[in-house]
Amino acid sequence: MKKFLKYCLFFVLPLLIAAIPVEYMIRQVPNPYKYKYEWMQKNAEDVEILVFGSSHAMYGIRPEFLEGKAFNLAFESQVIAYDYFLLKHFSDKYKNLKTVILPISYFTLFFRFEDLSSWWKCRYHHIYMNCDYHPYSIKYNYELSHLPSAIGKFKSFIKKQIKNEQSNLVDLYGWGNTYLFQKRDTLNISDTKRALSTINWQTSNDWSHIDEIISSVDDVVTFCKSRHIDLILVTLPAWPTYYNNLDPKQYKKMTQLIDSICQKHHLPYLNYLKDSRFTFDDFFDNSHLNDIGATKFTKILDKDIRSIKR
């Protein structure tokens, strides 16, 4: 047995030693998490509007078109428990925060981050944003714990370096600036099969965590009320191939939950999911706006928010 362990150590130790510089190198690649965290550390005391949510908001809400100093703290697959973490994490710095925009997507009230197929993205909150939701572990504290994403991240960085393109993936205001009109694949918008593929992973057969998720919403509400911050719930636009194929049962439950939350806490809710003002040219795929659509949407959202506050 001792001999076996020595042989294992002989083979494993070099891999572990090699992994250290590789992990370090991958962490040096610019990424939205590190950028947004550092931006908030420097600017949280001046920010007036914060945008949270998942990729729909990350790519769909452009802070530069909101009235006041605004910043986008949304990330791909981000759920409300992590929205709340980020909101409270900088609480000792806020001096001018007046408005929090909390987007609710089709899947938001049904999934925990850890249960999503893209669970590995929540590692970034631990590595780059000091999130303490999980005890120290290889799974949640190392880039190399999910090799496909780590390798993909490094390859993407190298390609951008060769093409001399920026690699931060967000603009100065935290908006995800890669879903561009000229780079879209129109089939991703018009093809029902592709929409169904997206909807499939966003539809949950297990609603056992709803109370836990609603509790996170309540935490956000309590935080905002205690500081006299306006909280606004929003659902962003989608193309008909997406919203016409949503599971009726889950969508009905989603609307019931939102109605309940808004009635309980007296919150405004702006639902643009089926808004006919958004055309084919406004979308990057069936559920995400492109840069043109994001500009258009943010201007509409800004006007509607100001109307609510009058």
Q: What is the mean pLDDT of residues 42-59?
A: 98
Question: What is the distance of C-alpha 256 from the center of its chain?
Answer: 23
Q: How far is CA 97 from the centre of its chain?
A: 20
By 3-state DSSP, what share of the chain in percent is helix, strand and coil, each rounded to 5? 55, 10, 35
Name the band, by pLDDT with cuts 50, 70 and 90, for residue 13: very low
Backbone angles phi, psi at 104, to 5 degrees: -120, 115
The more confident residue out of 175 and 4 is 175
Q: Does domain 31-309 have CATH number 3.40.50.1110?
A: yes
pLDDT at position 4 is: 47
The three-state secondary structure class of 89 is helix
Cα–Cα distance for residue pair 138/120, rounded to 1 Å: 12
Find the mean pLDDT for residues 22-37: 80
Sequence-distant (≥ 6) Cβ neighbours of residue 237 within 8 angstroms? 60, 272, 273, 274, 275, 278, 282, 289, 293, 297
pLDDT digits (tens, 9 = 90+) for 244-288: 999 999 999 999 999 999 999 999 999 999 999 999 999 999 999
Q: Can you give the length of the chain in residues?
A: 310
Q: How far apart are CA 132 and CA 153, in angstroms?
A: 24
Claim: this prediction has a pTM higher than 0.85:
yes
Q: How much of the chain exceeds pLDDT 70, in percent?
A: 85
Among residues 143, 142, 27, 38, the alpha carbon closest in space to that of 89 is found at 38
- Average pLDDT of 8-30? 59
Neighbours of 278 (CB within 10 A): 20
- Tell me the per-residue pLDDT of 111-162, one tens digit each, with 9 for 90 and over: 998 888 888 888 899 999 999 888 777 787 777 777 677 677 767 666 666 6
Q: What is the pLDDT of residue 136?
A: 75
On the 0-12 / 13-18 / 19+ scale of CB atoms within 10 A, 239 is buried
Instruction: Find tokens 């990330």 and name the residue.
Output: 75
How many C-beta neighbours within 10 Å does residue 153 have? 17
